Amino acid sequence: MSSSSGRPPKPVERTAGPVAQFAADLRDLCDRRAAAEGKKLDLRELERRTAAVGRRRSRGTLSDALRGERLPTWTTTQALVEALDGDLVVWQRRHQSILGPAGHTQVQDDQEDTHPPGEPLAAGAAVEPDHPAVPTRRSWLLPASIALAGLALAGAAGFWAYAGRAERTPSITVQNMVAAGATGLSEDATPTYLSTRPVARCGSLGCKIDGTEMWSGIVLAAVCQMRGQFVTNADEGSSGIQDNPGAARSVRWYGVQRTDGSVGLISEVYIRPQDRGGLGLADCSQVMNRIATVAPATPG
């Protein structure tokens, strides 16, 4: 996409964190719509389209949402996704996964613009409020619950934290994407999660760890690796899938130590490519045995 001035927008570094990934994927949504229509979508056009769906956002707000420096409010995200014919359910889940149930609180929601699209705001008119500032990567609060330097926050459901623990163990970043065709790679419609066994479809097998649902961009601290059931993120029935560089197939699983001391497992196909390969970690059977040995006994 291009800015309203015609200059290409500054690139977003996807690996900078969940907000940057979110903005980059919003840009991808714009680009896919532009390609489908055979035209460029600049900020002026996006402003017009958000107005057309009854959720007008100013060019300044849209530019901020696509810059990847601050998390846009859901109101702005919804306006963009509706204007570009995106999947609102998927995007709302992703937005909430970054916001977190006990994490970032919006300063205030955007106010819907009512002045005609393309016209400047009158002097003294109310403007859309700023979005909340994005914390640094080490201070990200992850969905469900977070531990900061080993301290579990109130209401934690036994999740983990990157901050503190990642100083001692490799960090891995979730890439919950599905590969289709020769080049397609997009966010899965359902979240990935941790399991108690290295097998696929734990949601139906009773080995899913509740409360650990994740979308792309979540950073975890890996403590071990192991072999398990073969998993792929590829739509094997799609044409050209064998040529898709985003298709991953593996029997490797990573273990992530949670705040209650247990280890949850996730297939490496749902981890970004640069974090795959085992990272030299010990086998999870050894780590789990060691954790079990030092874990306090449960009162009878």
Closest CA to 281 of 245, 259, 254, 249: 254
Per-residue model confidence (pLDDT) at position 196:
92
Per-residue model confidence (pLDDT) at position 231:
94
Q: With pLDDT > 90 as the criterion, what percentage of the chain qualifies? A: 33
> Does the pLDDT value for residue 29 go beyond 80?
yes
Q: Angle CA(67)–CA(70)–CA(74) in degrees, nearest 5? A: 100
Lowest-confidence segment of 64-78, 131-145, 180-194 by average pLDDT: 131-145
Judge whether 77 and 97 are in contact, CB under 8 Å.
no
d(CA 106, CA 164): 25
Domain ranges of the chain: 1-134, 137-294
pTM for the whole thing?
A: 0.47
At 14, is the secondary structure helix, strand, or coil?
helix
Judge whether 212 and 194 are in contact, CB under 8 Å.
yes
Report residue 98 as tokens: 């970054």
Q: Can you tell me the mean pLDDT for 80-103?
A: 77
Per-residue model confidence (pLDDT) at position 167:
40
pLDDT in tens, 243-273: 999 999 999 999 997 877 788 999 999 999 9
Q: Rg of the Cα trace of the chain?
A: 21
What average pLDDT does the structure give for the chain? 74
Q: With pLDDT > 70 as the criterion, what percentage of the chain qualifies? A: 69
DSSP secondary structure letter of residue 68: S
pLDDT in tens, 269-287: 999 999 999 999 999 987 7
Assign 148 a pLDDT band (cuts: 50, 70, 90): very low
Q: Can you tell me the mean pLDDT for 236-245?
A: 92
H helix runs in the chain, sequence order:
18-37, 43-52, 59-67, 74-83, 88-99, 202-205, 284-294
d(CA 53, CA 42): 17
Torsion of CA 225, 216, 108, 27, to 10 degrees: 150
